[in-house]
Chains A and B, each alone.
Chain A
Amino acid sequence: MADLAVAPPVAAPARGPSRPVRRRRRISWVPYLLLAPGLLWLVVFFVAPMLTTLSTSLQEGDVDNGYVLTGNPDVYWQALQAYWPQIVRSLMYAGIATLLSLALGYPLAYFIASRRGRSKNILLVLVIAPFFTSFLIRTMAWQSLLASDGGLVRKTLGGVGLGWVYDDFGHLLQLLHLSPNGEILYSPWAVVWGLTYNFLPFMILPLYTSLDRLDGRLLEAAGDLYATPRQTFRHVTWPLSLPGVVSGTLLTFIPAAGDYINSRLLGNTNTVMIGQVIDSQFLRVLDYPLAAALSFLLLALIVAMVFIYVRRAGTEELV
């Protein structure tokens, strides 16, 4: 091959028979430079901690005598055996909170997307307004709102002679096994409510984005083609908002499944979620391998579920 005679010193990849490359192939550094800070960030704050956690979970020993990396994976089995109820509960609570957020957030996002100009912006600011206060403070606020003695909801309702509404709601929760003793606060219901409240904006914003992009003329066209408003929603609005639904549910479900604040502040000893377990294993019991193993189990479970979910939703087919 004559090419070889003029082959440039730069190692040219075998691209089949081609004309001699006269111009030296210049590697453009710009994209890599732009990527570098982000990559560095990920390596330092994501990859490194992940590896540390993985290594921690495979160590044996105790705090006093130190830990040795033995690579024994038994701890995963132990973790699963001891804490599967908390894991299942976490996924269930997060799932319910996600569905609630979707049910509450979809109409709200639709409403905001249908507004024009100023009122739209004001509504959007209201959606993100809670973020101006810390997550912890907001959750604690629900404590003082829902408490049975001196809680704001109970007091306000009582003030207008509707105290029985609060009490009856508590009884209803008890009947539905959503509260152990008729209390609204410190019940599974309160935990799910807190999760829903805290992650609702993460549902609304992506939903809003895809509903806002929805071309109103498509809805007109559907109506013109004999679709009732309900059918228009089912066949046009909903499928076209699926990308928003998928990202909204992921942004809600993933953090909710690992949350440990809501179950601690608004729940009781029977509402313990897996995040709470990991927290106490790490910071109180000081069983680092177990805590690390639980972290990894949770991660693996969520990744698996998300993978199946995204494949099922078939978002890659959507425009």
Chain B
Amino acid sequence: MAGTRATEDLRLVQISKEFETFTAVQPMDLTVPGGSFFALLGPSGCGKTTTLRMVAGLEAPTTGRIHIGAKDITATKAYQRNVNTVFQSYALFPHMTVLENVAFGLKRKGDSAAMTKARQTLDLVQLEQVATKKPAQLSGGMQQRVALARAIVNRPDVLLLDEPLGALDLKLRRQMQIELKRIQSEVGITFIHVTHDQEEAMTMADTIAVMNKGRIEQLGDPATLYEKPASTFVANFLGQSNLLRAQITGAAVDGVMPASTHDHDVWVAADRVPDGLRDVWIGVRPEKLRLGDAGRNQIKGQVTDASFTGVATQYLVAMPWGFELMVVQQNDGSPRAGVGENVTLSWDPGHEFVLDQSQAEDAGSGLVDG
């Protein structure tokens, strides 16, 4: 039963979930384009797993509808949905062999070629050699791949991955990230990946929805989220941010606007400033700040910490007003600064992002201006 093509969109319409004591997911709309690798990213308790479970049919939404293509699947049970999940705990059946685990879904659907397809899928995840073993005899990474094979063998409309790499060590996780991406492009199924690891989400996903407190803070491709975060939460949750308290002091001239931060005059790209905003946060990523005066905006400070990581050097630079900025200097041969040295930091207009100052500066936790 190949059924509907795996290219149909998943649409959540005003979906919400309330538990007895709290609201896990605020009413939200979300469309996941068919065939895409989509990530739901957020800290624990942000409602991402609850959203996933509602799509899987393991949790009934309090309000809202779930559609796959033209079909409304809101009222259907988990076993009636052409949606499969890779569980965080893998949830492999301990009394079945790897092959039986993988063939389980197809057998329930009455597929007469279940075993053949299961073998092919084990091939895809490079586990054909352990087909007759029990899950307990496999390593964590192998179990993870069995769980993946058990889900994709069914060619679901949507594949849900609930923190699937959470239990793996760092090196294995990197491998599996690449592996997952490869498998996704090979099978062309819509993947929805739930994770709290921003790097993982950015590495793998075409589109990321950043969730916080039961709602979607921002939706976009990884580069947009990183370069133009819409909120301090997103700015801090995705990578490091230096947030400077600033005021817009004039109108745009040649595409840049004058601003003042702690009595330093700086220029910001006009198209980055939301209309009519005066009190703002100017956010600059550590790798956009440069040591030296090559950039148009310049601030002086003193290096308080320098750590060399090989690829780059990471500095903490104290500002005259007490705040420390983080700077990442690529190991590109430019001179390195030592601790205690007075340095000039600079960046060019357009390398910053501008946010409303009424937002909590420490949302999502990061470096903030006092």
Task: Using C-beta atoms within 8 Å of the partner chain, give the interface range for chain B.
Answer: 20 to 34
**Interface-located stretch among A78-86, A94-102, A113-121, A219-227:** A219-227
> 1/0 per residue A61-88: CB within 8 Å of B?
0000000000000000000000000000
Chain A residues closer than 8 Å to B109, beta-carbon distance: 226
CB distance from A50 to the nearest CB of B (A): 37
Contact of B79 among A217, A228, A235, A319 (CB under 8 A): A228
- Is A221 within 8 A of B94, CB to CB? no
**A318 interface residue, CB < 8 Å from B?**
yes
**A236 interface residue, CB < 8 Å from B?**
yes
Distance of A239 Cα from B77 Cα, bound (Å):
24
Q: A240-B95, A318-B95 are in contact. Are A227 and B84 (CB under 8 A)?
A: no
**B154 interface residue, CB < 8 Å from A?**
yes
Chain B residues closer than 8 Å to A235, beta-carbon distance: 93, 104
Distance of A317 Cα from B94 Cα, bound (Å):
10
The number of chain A residues with a CB under 8 A from chain B is 21
- Is A225 within 8 A of B58, CB to CB? no
- Is B91 within 8 A of A218, CB to CB? yes
**B85 interface residue, CB < 8 Å from A?**
yes
Contact of A226 among B56, B79, B92, B94 (CB under 8 A): B79
Chain B residues closer than 8 Å to A240, beta-carbon distance: 94-95
- Is B87 within 8 A of A217, CB to CB? yes
- Is B150 within 8 A of A220, CB to CB? no
> 1/0 per residue B101-114: CB within 8 Å of A?
00011001100000
Q: A239-B95, A319-B94 are in contact. Are A225 and B89 (CB under 8 A)?
A: no
Contact of B108 among A215, A218, A227, A319 (CB under 8 A): A227
Distance of A225 Cα from B150 Cα, bound (Å):
8
> 1/0 per residue A221-261: CB within 8 Å of B?
11111111101000110011000000000000000000000
**B299 interface residue, CB < 8 Å from A?**
no
CB distance from A315 to the nearest CB of B (A): 11
- Is B104 within 8 A of A227, CB to CB? yes
CB distance from A284 to the nearest CB of B (A): 51
Distance of A217 Cα from B83 Cα, bound (Å):
16
**Secondary structure type dominating chain A contacts:** helix
- Is B91 within 8 A of A236, CB to CB? no
Contact of B91 among A215, A227, A229 (CB under 8 A): A215
Distance of A224 Cα from B58 Cα, bound (Å):
8
Chain A residues closer than 8 Å to B83, beta-carbon distance: 224
Contacting A at CB under 8 A, from B72-92, are 77-80, 83-85, 87, 89, 91-92
Chain B residues closer than 8 Å to A220, beta-carbon distance: 58, 78, 87, 91
CB distance from A98 to the nearest CB of B (A): 23
- Chain B minimum-CB-distance residue to A317: B95
- Is B84 within 8 A of A224, CB to CB? yes
- Chain A minimum-CB-distance residue to B108: A226
Chain A residues closer than 8 Å to B104, beta-carbon distance: 222, 225, 227, 235
**B138 interface residue, CB < 8 Å from A?**
no
Q: Which 3 A-B pairs have the closest CB atoms?
A: A225-B105, A221-B91, A226-B108
